[in-house]
Structure 1
């Protein structure tokens, strides 16, 4: 194997890892990193195997992933009576949480953000906790959907090139 081939595979795999790590650290590009890995493969090896149907399938999955990420997370908060402000602050908590509380921030951040949003909005504490619970369920549901779709992206790629 040529050194450039090794470098190409290392970059592709590294981008897959970054993509999957995006499930835990939302600041990472997630599915976009996985999508970019396909270009890296094409540049290092060949775009011939990656037909127009490959790109259509992967792009549809990518768009579905991006839409589902926001919609499912917001749906959880809203379903449990959260206001627009609690949805916004749960998103802020999702982004900042892992950096402020490294071990548990991904889970605690959106919960606290939604609770604070509801309290600022004027809701009682019980409703604020309910919105926080909704944000947490939305996050977990969204993460599950993202994880499945990202694995599908990688599996489709592997099947396509083999």
Structure 2
């Protein structure tokens, strides 16, 4: 039965990485779900206050990394708050409108359209800002992926 429990816990961890590509999947909740299932299946004893503080800091770092990477990517290429909002909306809608490539095309088009419609920026400048949003998104995915790996490694070190 222990093998089945571990398969479920590891499956939750794997699903958390899908959330890097499809932001609608709440990565953090799947990781925390794996921790809680471990506690229910085996024991909550390894999860002392220090474990939860470290995990809480990792979670905070995940949210900050997501925001900062997108912000820096767009700002570096001349974008504004409108570009950031457009990119964010594109990240959420893109994968549903254009499966697979929508995760890249969505934030790109969202940033370009927002800058064009709200700030009346030119086509070329809008494309540059859209490119910056994609760079920001990719940076965010890599950074959050590393943080999630660290969270899971720390879990395995503790248990």
* Global fold match (TM > 0.5): yes
Shift of 1:32: 2.6
CA distance in 1, matches of 2:82, 2:39: 43
Match of 1:47 among 44, 47, 55: 44
Q: Give ranges in structure 2 of 5+ residues lacking alignment.
A: none
The equivalent residue for 1:142 is 140
Alignment of 1:90-129 (within 5 A): 90-120=87-117, 121-129=119-127
The equivalent of 1:157 in structure 2 is: 155
Over the residues paired in the alignment, what is the CA RMSD in angstroms? 1.3
Tell me which moved more, 36-45 or 20-29.
Answer: 36-45
Shift of 1:125: 0.9
Q: Secondary structure at the match of 1:50?
A: coil
> How far apart are 1:96 and its partner, in Å?
1.1
3-state secondary structure, aligned to 1:23: helix
**What is the DSSP-based 3-state SS (H/G/I as helix, E as strand, rest coil) of the residue aligned with 2:20?**
coil
Give me the whole-angstrom Cα distance separating, in 2, the residues matched to 1:75 and 1:37. 32
Query: Does the Cα contact within 8 Å between 1:27 and 1:95 map onto a contact in 2?
Result: yes
